[in-house]
Structure formats: C-alpha cells, structure tokens
Structure 1
C-alpha cells in the first residue's frame, strides 16, 4: 500500500512539475508564436500568390521564386547581394576567430584591469548597429573624416581615399565595421570557455614538456570547440540577416553601384521602395528563401560542430 502511495505521490509530483514548467514557458511561447512563427508562416503563404498592391490575386505556385532568378533586376541583384552576405560572414568569422580569440586569451592571462578591458571591447556590441554605421560613415568621410586626416598627417596620403565611394573598398568597410562592432561577443564567449578549462590539464601538458603554443594548439583550442560552434552559428545568422550597418553605410540601394548590397536590403527595396505591383509576393519569396537557407546552414553547422565535439571525449 505504501509503495502504491509513493508511486502515486511521485506521479503527482512529476505532473505538477510539468505544469509549473509549462506556466513559465507559456509566455515565451506566446511571444514566439505571435512575433516569429506567425510572420514566418504569413510570409511563406504570401510568396505563393500574385499581388496587386495589397490585394491578393491568384495562386501562382512558384512564379515568385522563378522571378527572382529569371527576370531583371532580380536576376542580377540576388546573386550579387548573396555574394556580399557570404563575404560578410567569411570576413566576420576570420576577424572574430583570430582577433576575438586572441583578445580573449590575452584577457584570460591578464591579472589586472581584466574587467575594464572586457567592458571596453563589449561596449560597441551594446550600441545600435545603425548608430555604429552612421558614426563610421562620418569617420570615413573624404571631406572631414578623421581617418583620411590621420593618414595624410602621418605621410600616407596614397592610402587616403573615398572608402565608401569606391566599389572596391565599400564592401570591405561593411565587413570591417560589422566585425569591429561584434568582436566583443566572441571575446566574452571565448573568455568564459577558457575559464571553464581545468587548470590541471594545462599544468599536466606543461610538465610533459609542451611549449605555450603546443599547449594552446593541442589542449586549449580543441576544448574551445563548443564555443567556436556557437560563435560560428550566431555569426552566420547575423551576417545573412545583416541590414542596419549596410543600410547606414550604403543606403537602401547598396551604394556605390550595389557594392554594399545584401539580401535584407534587397528585400527592403522590393517590399517598400520598388513600387512593383507584385512587391508583396516577390519580397515574401526573398524572405522565405533567406530563412530556409539560414535555417538549413545553421542546422548543418551545429551538427558538424557537435560531431567534432563528440570526438574529443
């Protein structure tokens, strides 16, 4: 009898625990459904119809998607914008996994003013990307910007140029500004990961005669795999969704001559500036393709990094 009562009490406890958990999860679930899931499903449904202004027309199957790759200007603008998103991701990844990791290692070994420097590196991350973009556009101005002024003052006049007016340099400015703003995030993440590595492991490697570089390459770096995976996924998502900084530096047209155009800007122009009769259908197709690509690649990166992590144990 007592065993039965114990089991019943345990069952009731588990049920109450599940209900309590559901109560805490429900507000977040409602917000996610209203502000994320519903807009996603709505955009998906819009992409399968023809639109005249805001009036929905006939079911078009995949016509809006075909338009993106067969009709001008989308046939040229979609690959160009996608290529710039890829450059943004690659550039940010290289910057964050070299400079960001290097700064994290230095701060991890630093005894004094560690919190101060962590705060300094994190401050740009806390500022609106739109504000950061506009500030850098002023700093890089060829007329009154301090960057060209400093280059001329130190005798490097040949490097002073209209950074955002030259198609060859404009996209790299976007890459640099994006990586510069978000470098504080990997610094904090890698710093936390470094702090979680047991000191005994490095001490054992040191006693075995491993140099500082060998300890980092063979011991520390592999143990940072989970953090590298997190940084990679979030950097990819941020690069593919980039809007604020490209908009602040190159405007909605991705100036100059589309050199700073990205997929989010293309979506914005199509939906709100193109004046096309089927703007809703075409822009929804862009948003859907972008979501599917981001989701698929993010899942693949996560799977790949977890597979690499499992090999460590």
Structure 2
C-alpha cells in the first residue's frame, strides 16, 4: 500500500481526535497555569493554582475529601464488581448451560441504559417516603434493617458505588467471558483426560491465561471510576451530599469550573482540578504498565 493511502485513511481519525480530545486537553493544561483577577482578565500565575488546591485549607480539605472518596469508589468496584464479573463469566462459559445467551443479555442490559435513568430509578427504589425497598424488606422479615442509605453520610457513597456495580458489572463479565472462550480447548481436554477437576483446571490453566484480560479490566475500572461524575450528580447533585460525603473529583471539578449556589465558578481553578485528575489517572495507568503489564508480558514469553 502506498504511503499516501495510509495518510488518507488515518487523516479523519487523527483530525477528529486532535480537535475534540488532544487540543482541549492541551488547552486545559495551559489554562491551569493562569489566574483571573477581579476584572476577569487572566494572567500567568505558574503553580499558584495547584499550591492553593493542595495546601490552602479552604481548597485542600475539599480536594482531599474528593480524592479519598474517589479511591473508595474505585476499591468497591475493584473488590466487588470485577470478582462478580469473573464468577459470572466463568459460569456462563460452562458447556451445556441452558439459557446462557439470555443470562448474558439480561446482565449486560443495564450498561446500555443512561446513568441518569439508573440513578433516578434507584433513588425512587431506596426512598424512605415512596420507595419499595422498605416494603420488600418487611415482606421477608428484614424490615428492621432498612435505613435511608442515600441520606446518611456513612452509607451514601457505598450505596452509590453498589448501584454503579450493579449497572456496569456486565462489562468486565463480557471481557472476561471472551477471554475464557479464547482458551485453547485442547489444553482443557488434556487436563480432563489427566483427571484434573474443574476447579483445578480453572485455577491452574484458565486463570493464568486470562491474567492479561484481568489486568485490562482493572485499569479500565480505575480510569472509569476516576472519571466518574454522572451517577453522583444525577442522584445527589453537584453538592454531593450529605455534607460532601459522596463528593468525588468529577463533582469537585464541576463546582469549581462552573460554580454552584454561592460558589463562583473559576475556569482557571477548574482547569487545575482537571489537570490533577488527569495526573492521578496518568500515574495509575503508568504504574500499571510498569509494575503489572511488564510482568504479564514476561509471563507470556
């Protein structure tokens, strides 16, 4: 193929990526080094915005609270969503399982729905005023355990994370399911002939072979959760209540950039928050490729 053919085919994708992704990212990084005065004029301020966010008590408390909540949000997905996805994928990959296609469809279906719709529905379900969760718990004799989980500081973030797990568990399930189907069948059959149990085959053959996929699922979970915003915003609003207990970096960026209620928006400070979000994601991805992906590559070799 001639070189100009390669350029011709790549040009539309490169152009779209540059205009809608690369250039806005670079402009955000640039804007974080500027500050605005009372007249609205901007001037170069170096690292002052970042020092303010990280050290000024008026800003740092909100930032570190959002950072901590974001890590909690991610860990719940990592420790609950991905293991459940692995279990479901393993069960659905078993030969002879009836209605396997229907199960996959039903489990994956919530991922196709809008996060706003999911948040609104679960808010209705869990509402202590008109929700059905209290009556359902009463029907099975567990009514005493009902609490306004979305309205309490100690449980609101965990509840929202579990809602997100319920919606998106189909994604790791399908990725792991595809990896399990790619395991060579002759290896599995040889292990059966040798008398290996189903558990031993999974633990010693299938699991090592799908480790790269598990690593991919982990890093996708990390990036997705540190970019999260819409579920928190649709259920708890930009204020991320109660008392900022569900505040994450996405909602903090929204309030900082656009302003909310008595807080005045600042594009330069918002760009600094967005840049810090980008650095957190970049560091996580870089650590994964350096410490994990390199070992997996050696393992495959």
Residue of structure 1 in register with 2:275 after alignment: 288
1:144 aligns with 2:130: yes
Counterpart selection for 2:233 from 224, 241, 247: 247
| Aligned partners of 1:51 and 1:277 also within 8 Å | no
Tell me the equivalent position of 1:305. Answer: 293
Distance, in Å, in 2 between the alignment partners of 1:215 and 1:58 is 63
Equivalent of 1:104 in 67, 78, 89: 89
5+ residue gaps in structure 1?
1-12
Q: Per-residue deviation at 1:58?
A: 2.2
Does the 8 A contact of 2:35 with 2:268 survive in 1? yes
Q: How does 1:1-313 map to 2 (within 5 A)?
A: 13=1, 16=2, 18-52=3-37, 55-111=40-96, 112-274=98-260, 279-303=266-290, 304-313=292-301
Distance 1:239 1:54, change over 3 A: farther
**1:231 CA drift (Å):** 0.7
Deviation at 1:78, TM superposition (A): 0.7
Shift of 1:277: 6.4
| 1:107–1:225 Cα change, 3 Å | same
Residue 293 of structure 1: CA displacement? Answer: 1.5
- Counterpart-to-counterpart distance in 2, 1:110 and 1:51: 64
What is the CA–CA distance in structure 1 between the aligned matches of 2:289 and 2:233, rounded to whole Å?
Answer: 29
Alignment coverage as a number of residue pairs: 298
Distance, in Å, in 1 between the alignment partners of 2:264 and 2:35 is: 9
Does structure 1 retain, via aligned residues, the 8 Å contact 2:256–2:265?
Answer: no
TM-score (norm 1): 0.90
Cα deviation code 1:263-305 (max 9, x no counterpart): 0100000111256667111111000011122122113213413
Structure 1 residue 207, shift from structure 2 partner = 2.6
In the alignment, is the contact (CA less than 8 A) between 1:139 and 1:147 conserved in 2? yes
Structure 2: where are the runs of 5+ without partners? Answer: none
Q: CA contact under 8 A between 2:67 and 2:249: conserved in structure 1? A: yes
| 1:257 aligned counterpart, secondary structure | coil
How far apart in 1 are the matches of 2:39 and 2:169? 41
The residue matched to 1:58 in structure 2 has which SS? Answer: strand
TM-score, with structure 2 as normaliser: 0.93
Give the 3 Å change call, closer, same or farther, for CA 110–204 of structure 1 in structure 2: closer
SS of the residue 1:155 aligns to: coil
SS in 2 for 1:168: coil
Structure 1 distance, partners of 2:17, 2:227, is 18
Q: Secondary structure at the match of 1:73?
A: helix
Q: Secondary structure at the match of 2:42?
A: strand
Deviation at 1:312, TM superposition (A): 3.5
Instruction: Report if aligned partners of 2:34, 2:45 keep a CA contact under 8 Å in 1.
Output: yes
- Do the aligned residues in 1 keep the contact of 2:119 with 2:231 (CA within 8 Å)? yes
